[in-house]
Structure 1
Amino acid sequence: MRPRPWPTPDPVGPGQESVWDYPRPPRLERTPALLEVWLGGTVVASTREGWRVLETSHPPTYYLPHEAFAPGALRAAPGSSFCEWKGRAAYYDLLAGDPADPVVAPRAAWTYPQPSPGFEEIAHALAVMPAQVERCTVDGETVTPQEGGFYGGWVTSRVVGPFKGEPGSMGW
């Protein structure tokens, strides 16, 4: 079988960055951007003290501090997964609205309680799968979820691809 060729990066415009300039292994960096997560018509998380994980071919995955989530918005969910870079993840359901009958986004958020070296700063911070909630925003811009159903990247007008997760990207 022939190896798949790497894609040609999309052109970068003013104020944009290419995911093909991101490193592998990924880099963790702070962001002062206003990050918000919406569910059930309300903001369930908001912060200007988040982080971005930048990895070659992926749009940024944003992590919000635990304190950014509204009281009652997080419920521990069963299961775990493993990331070769960050370690073992634990999952949370996101909840909004009436506590007796909440809107629930099952396993929409994850965290690394004991992250691997280099990612200690995001211990207990949470990433959110934008396709599982009403919307996520970066400085007011509604993000497009990274394709593929497995990845949690937030696509904004500030990043260009092509992105891992799109059809045909399995071998990247």
Structure 2
Amino acid sequence: MPPKPKLNVQSFPRPPFLEKTPRHLQVKWRGHTIADTKDAYWVLETYHPPTYYIPKSALSFPLKQTTKSTFCEWKGWATYWSISLPSSSSSNEKEKEVEIKDRIWSYEAPTKPYSAIRGYVSFYVGPWDCFVDGEEVRPQPGDFYGGWTTSELEGLIKGEGAPRWL
């Protein structure tokens, strides 16, 4: 298989570009699959790794809306969600669950250029593991932006120190 071409984050556009992606996205927690889809969107923005939006229908666990909200100058107001997940990898029905809050967000009424992501959610990388085409991703530094960093990216990523090619 030929190597994937490099994507330079400095060549990504501003305002951000929204596009359907056929990539296989997975979010996993202690042996449990939270999300698994090839029906997603990615948002590409200058100096940021891609942010992926997964359809709510691809989730294996229900979400509960929280009170947190933030504003994006491009997409509008973000809604945040909590999710209750098993505390371990066992399948014991009586096991305790852990609630994770404000690590998943969506745009329930996005601005017109981003209307396609209505009904889709995005995950910060962590506390769960996130994968793009089988590659485990790293979070975009800073814990504010939700980009998923993969080995195919190059250039200076917002929140990092030196460019990735150094």
Q: Distance in 2 between matches of 1:142 and 1:92?
A: 23
Which residue of the other structure, out of 12, 17, 20, is the alignment partner of 1:22? 12
Question: Match of 1:56, SS?
Answer: coil
Q: Distance in 2 between matches of 1:99 and 1:67?
A: 26
CA contact (8 A) 2:7 2:152 kept: yes
> For the aligned residues, what is the CA RMSD?
2.0
* Deviation, structure 1 residue 88: 0.3
Question: Match of 1:118, SS?
Answer: helix
- 1:79 and 2:73 matched: no
Amino-acid identity (%): 40
Structure 1 unpaired stretches of 5+: 1-12
Structure 1 length-normalised TM: 0.83
Number of equivalenced pairs: 155
| Distance change (3 Å), C-alpha of 1:99 and 1:80 | farther
* Deviation, structure 1 residue 71: 3.6
Which residue of the other structure, out of 44, 61, 65, is the alignment partner of 2:51? 61
Which residue of the other structure, out of 84, 90, 113, is the alignment partner of 2:108? 113
Q: Distance in 1 between matches of 2:94 and 2:64?
A: 12
| Distance change (3 Å), C-alpha of 1:99 and 1:61 | farther
| Distance change (3 Å), C-alpha of 1:99 and 1:76 | farther
Structure 2 unpaired stretches of 5+: 87-92
Q: Write out aligned runs for 1:98-137 (5 A).
A: 101-130=96-125, 132-137=126-131
